[in-house]
């Protein structure tokens, strides 16, 4: 797979118009994290350095074609003293495949501070590298993300709450050192956050393999972090029904700081045959 810095490198082709790269893929549709990451980079390019992104809300409108680039149109919705808002539309073949609103906040504001504590989990070094243990039907899909180290906490080591119906925890990181630029780490996490989250909705349904695809995706960024260091993705799925599943995630660094939160709704239809690559992707 391409390096994440290459994936997130967008080309300016006109004022507020950017083009992302296309990369060799085993998937039938563009990975949602790639589209979200490239959209966020495009939005960030139009914002001055005294602002940093604090939230994004995106909708996956059509399957992307991984063999061709996407063009990203940025609308400058608002430039305020404390907040900046951008809207980005990703386009392929003249059709919108993704739309995102992103909000940026000035970095000098101060206020009250609190956070939930990091939940208990085994150290990532004590868990197997799933890439090394992939079965034959997963190897092609794992190759898509061979630069990412993803380690799911097994059920017998998961400390759960009786008030949550579906729970999953995942350690992940980018395997190679990244530059110190926080924008790279934020956009890398936007890419990574689409990995494994929908899988939490399958926890109460062992043996069931629903047709799955991301429908929308929202993130909030609370504190600085490094995506090339271990992050714990604490995932839940509070509800599923009518062919859709709601999933939520909180992301902590090794020091226990909550650095981001994610909410995603995804397709969870049953009774339809899914492509082999999509089935393998859900195992992540």
Tokens (6 digits) for 42 = 């495009």
Q: Which one is catalytic: 214, 235, 237, 248?
A: 214
Q: Name the CATH topology of 1-108.
A: Thiol Ester Dehydrase; Chain A (3.10.129)
Q: Are domains 1-108 and 123-284 of this chain identical in fold?
A: yes
| Pairwise CA distance, residues 80 & 82, whole Å | 6
Q: Specify the residue for token string 């039907």.
A: 137
The 3 state secondary structure assigned to 133-158 is: CCCHHHHHHHHHCCCEEEEECCHHHC
Give the model's confidence band at 284: pLDDT under 50 very low, under 70 low, under 90 confident, else very high: very low
Q: Which one is catalytic: 25, 92, 194, 253?
A: 194
Q: Which one is catalytic: 42, 264, 268, 282?
A: 264
Mean pLDDT score of the chain:
92
| Pairwise CA distance, residues 200 & 240, whole Å | 11
pLDDT mean over 132-147: 68
Is-catalytic flag, 180? Answer: no
* CATH architecture of residue range(s) 123-284: Roll (3.10)
Output the pLDDT for position 47. 98
**If you count them, how many residues does the chain have?**
284
pLDDT mean over 55-68: 96
pLDDT tens digits for range 212-264: 999 999 999 999 999 999 999 999 999 999 999 999 999 999 999 999 999 99
- In this predicted structure, the answer to whether residue 147 has a pLDDT above a threshold of 90 is yes
- In this predicted structure, the answer to whether residue 56 has a pLDDT above a threshold of 80 is yes
**Residue of higher predicted confidence among 140 and 239:** 239
Sorted by where each begins, the domain ranges of the chain are: 1-108, 123-284
CA distance readout (Å), 197 to 30, 148, 180, 234, 245: 17, 15, 27, 9, 11
pLDDT tens digits for range 86-131: 999 999 999 999 999 999 999 999 999 999 999 999 999 999 987 7
| Pairwise CA distance, residues 74 & 230, whole Å | 32
pLDDT tens digits for range 8-40: 999 999 999 999 999 988 888 999 999 999 999
- Kindly report the pTM of this predicted structure: 0.92
- In this predicted structure, the answer to whether residue 273 has a pLDDT above a threshold of 80 is no
Give the model's confidence band at 279: pLDDT under 50 very low, under 70 low, under 90 confident, else very high: very low
Is-catalytic flag, 264? Answer: yes
Could you tell me which of 170, 174, 177 has the C-alpha nearest to residue 128?
A: 170
């Amino acid at each position: 797979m391409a390096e994440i810095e290459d994936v997130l490198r967008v080309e300016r082709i006109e004022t507020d118009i950017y083009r992302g790269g296309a990369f060799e893929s085993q998937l039938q549709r563009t990975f949602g994290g790639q589209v979200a990451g490239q959209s966020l980079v495009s939005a960030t390019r139009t914002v001055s350095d005294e602002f940093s992104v604090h939230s994004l809300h995106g909708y996956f409108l059509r399957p992307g074609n991984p063999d061709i680039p996407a063009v990203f149109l940025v609308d400058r919705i608002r430039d305020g003293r404390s907040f900046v808002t951008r809207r980005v539309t990703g386009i392929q073949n003249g059709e919108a495949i993704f739309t995102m609103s992103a909000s940026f906040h000035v970095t000098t504001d101060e206020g009250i501070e609190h956070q939930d504590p990091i939940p208990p989990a085994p150290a990532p070094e004590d868990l197997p590298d799933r890439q090394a243990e992939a079965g034959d039907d997963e190897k092609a899909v794992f190759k898509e993300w061979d630069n990412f180290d993803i380690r799911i906490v097994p059920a017998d080591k998961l400390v759960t709450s009786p008030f949550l119906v579906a729970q999953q925890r995942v350690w992940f990181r980018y395997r190679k050192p990244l530059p110190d630029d926080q924008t790279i780490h934020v956009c890398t996490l936007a890419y990574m956050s689409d990995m494994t989250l929908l899988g939490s909705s399958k926890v109460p349904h062992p043996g069931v393999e629903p047709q799955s695809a991301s429908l929308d995706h929202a993130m909030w960024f609370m504190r600085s972090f490094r995506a090339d260091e271990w992050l714990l993705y604490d995932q839940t799925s509070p509800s599923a029904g009518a062919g859709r599943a709601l999933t939520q995630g909180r992301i902590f660094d090794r020091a226990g700081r909550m650095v981001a939160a994610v909410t995603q709704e995804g397709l969870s239809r049953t009774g339809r045959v899914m492509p082999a690559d999509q089935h393998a992707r859900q195992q992540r």
